[in-house]
Amino acid sequence: MEESGVDPSGLVPVLAVSGGMNVKIYVVCDLEGTAGVADQIHQCSFEHESYDDRHRPGEFGPFYLQARRLATLELNALVEGALAGGATEIWAWDGHCRFPAGLDVELLHPACRLVMNAGDGGPVGLDGSCAALFLLGLHAKQGTPAAPQAHGIFPGKTWNGEDVGEIGMTIATAAVHGVRVTFISGDRAAVREAQAFVPQIETVVTKEPLFTHVASVTEVVPVLSLAPARSRELIRAGATRALQRLGEIPAPPRPPFDPSAA
């Protein structure tokens, strides 16, 4: 496994394991930033006639189950990489709306535990016992240029003069608990959004935009996606590096607002 740029402090998780200490990783998962997922209505919504808040059990966009499978396989690759990097306990929270959400529990890696019935209000159970927080399959915030399926801002919440989206709010939550945010995968705009808060974060870009304007969440726009198998390879390796580099990635700055009040 590649270890370029790793200093001794980056080996803290591995040394902690050898000393019998628990190295707990919390993974925030979403669906839109998964490789091979590009259509909000057909791949990411519960029913395909419209995109709204209605929940009709058993009715999904025609490729929704495929997208959930792809997202779960990316999570499994992350778990494998995190275990190789020294993780001893891994929690994942499915942040894609309400049940059935964006993961297929039957396909879940046996070393991963899933936070369920927690809605989409934030990483439930995240606290200072976590060594690191990972972001998997994220999308950019509403209003971002060249960002496929971008959505979500928190009215009245700004940070560094910018509106706060789901990525910023999650990083803010980690910051108040003193938890480092060390990994993100998602489209190019999502990765840049995370880097604005944590410049040293380990990254995997799953999709590149082939457009430049501000698109709505349901607008069908051209993107260039990695093959899902290749995305999983990069996520696996990136998760390992994210733990090996834990000592060199600082905790994010504290936000100028209380994320629990969002």
Per residue in 211-250, pLDDT (tens digit) is 999 999 999 999 999 999 999 999 999 999 999 999 999 9
- pTM score, two decimals? 0.88
Region 31-44: mean pLDDT is 94
pLDDT bracket for residue 161 (50, 70, 90): confident
Rounded (10°) angle between helices 228-244 and 64-85: 30
Write the burial class of residue 32 (CB in 10 Å: 0-12 exposed, 13-18 middle, 19+ buried): buried
Q: Convert the pLDDT of each residue in 134-147 to its tens digit.
A: 999 999 999 999 99
Interval 98-103 mean pLDDT: 81
Contacts of 179 (CB under 8 A, 6+ apart): 26, 126, 127, 128, 130, 131, 132, 133, 251
Cis geometry, peptide bond prior to residue 123 (ω within 30 degrees of 0): no
DSSP state of 261: G
Q: Which residues pair with 135 in a beta bridge?
A: 28, 184
CATH classification (class only), 8-38+66-255:
alpha beta
The mean per-residue pLDDT over the stretch 65-69 comes to 94
Mean pLDDT of the chain: 87
What size, in residues, is the chain?
Answer: 262
Please state, in angstroms and as integers, the Cα–Cα distance from residue 120 to each residue in 24, 46, 115, 232, following that order.
22, 15, 11, 24
The neighbouring-strand residues paired with 138 are 186
Strand spans (E) along the chain: 24-29, 89-94, 112-115, 130-138, 158-159, 162-163, 180-187, 202-209, 223-225
Q: Are 262 and 122 in contact (CB under 8 A)?
A: yes
Specify the DSSP class assigned to residue 251.
P
Residue owning tokens 């726009």: 221
User: What gap in Å lies between CA 134 and CA 58, rounded to an integer?
Assistant: 31
